[in-house]
Amino acid sequence: MNQEQWETLVAVVRGETPRPLPTGFIIDCPWLPNWAGHTILDYFTDERMFLEDNLKAIRTFPKALFLPGFWSEYGMCTEPSAFGAASVWEQNEFPFAKKVLRSPAEVDGLERPNPRKDGLLPFVIKRLQHLEPEIERAGHSIRFAVARGPLNIATFLMGATEFLTAIKTEPERMHRLLSITTDFLVDWIAYQRECFPSIDGILLLDDIVGFVGRRDFESFGLPYLKRAFDADVTVKFFHNDAPCKACAPCLPDAGINLLNFGVQHTLGEMRAWTGDSITLLGNVPPRDVLGAGTPADVTRAVTDMLNATDFRSRLIPSCGGGMPPGVPTENIEAFVATVEALTR
């Protein structure tokens, strides 16, 4: 993200309303490498390919905000790998982290990883350190510390069904597990900021908060998200494209000021639930419209979304989640052009 784009993002988060509104998308391995003509595994293992694919995206769509920007990641394996999770790699499929905990009792022996040494985390940092001079020569900077959220990591360590069951049957152990994953996240975020002083934002991704009710979120979600986001940065960005109704009213209390949400709720509903303190990033259907539709379908969906809202402040039109696999260039161009035409 270049300086002008960063300033635009910060202005929207602070409540200013630029004309036209910016369009923004979360992009990572599900979309970027295949769109650029490469396999997912090559993208993960070739620094030059990683750099060139990201540069291709920002040069092809110069009017779009790509978030978090030059995302150095290994899919869902990044954070679980630090806890010892074995990673399964295919040539052109998303990698998968195997479970580490076979029962809630095994939480008692779980140790907090060291982000400087454990798993794939040093590789994440080294990739960006190697490429940072070229990223900066292209006019961009590393703006975000990025991680999966505390509940998301917990479910990769023990399984989603097992974790969600255990918050009812073994609540004390699940609080211990979340304390460990959150302490680790605090360390991991701090280490990213130490390595890259240009960072002034945090992006946490945690869809699991969408699978619990309000009471369980207040107990097992909110305290840990609040701690993970407790850093002196300007943008506190949260992604949850599972249902948001239960957690949305609590998100301002976690310090979150930018939210990417799914297609289960309208912009109007999300604004009513979150108030006016959170910038909304969403929410055209990513797979069925942006991925599988035509440019005309995209134009119609963006138009309907914007016409259905009576606000323009703290709004960044996007899809309801990250950029999905298979989205063609012409659909993104139609999205950006429609937003620009309707919000001048």
Locate 329 and state its tokens: 């260039």
Per-residue pLDDT tens over the stretch 51-79: 999 999 999 999 999 999 999 999 999 99
The helix (H) or strand (E) run that includes residue 203 is strand 201-205
Asked whether the bond before 122 is cis by omega within 30 degrees of 0, the reply is no
**Which residues 6+ apart lie within 8 Å of 161 measured at CB?**
none
Antiparallel, parallel or unpaired: β 235-240 and 279-284: unpaired
With 90 as the cut, is the pLDDT of residue 255 above it? yes
> Based on C-alpha coordinates, what's the Rg of the chain?
19
Q: What percentage of residues in the chain have a pLDDT greater than 90?
A: 99
**pLDDT (0 to 100) of residue 310:** 87
Q: What percentage of residues in the chain have a pLDDT greater than 70?
A: 100
pTM of the predicted structure, to 2 decimals: 0.97
Locate 2 and state its tokens: 């270049």
**For range 196-204, the mean pLDDT:** 98
**For range 230-252, the mean pLDDT:** 97
**pLDDT (0 to 100) of residue 68:** 98
Burial of residue 67, with CB atoms counted within 10 A of its CB: 0-12 exposed, 13-18 middle, 19 or more buried: buried
**For range 79-88, the mean pLDDT:** 98
Sign of the CA dihedral with 282 first, then 25, 4, and 341 last: negative
Q: What is the DSSP string of 23-51?
A: EEEE--TTTHHHHTT--HHHHHH-HHHHH
Instruction: Please give the mean pLDDT across all residues of the chain.
Output: 97
Q: How far apart are the first and last CA of the chain?
A: 22
Per-residue pLDDT tens over the stretch 94-137: 999 999 999 999 999 999 999 999 999 999 999 999 999 999 99
**Which residues 6+ apart lie within 8 Å of 190 measured at CB?**
231
Per-residue pLDDT tens over the stretch 140-182: 999 999 999 999 999 999 999 999 999 999 999 999 999 999 9
> Residue 289 gets which letter from DSSP?
I
pLDDT grade, residue 6 (50/70/90)? very high
- For the chain, which domains are there? 30-279 (3.20.20.210)
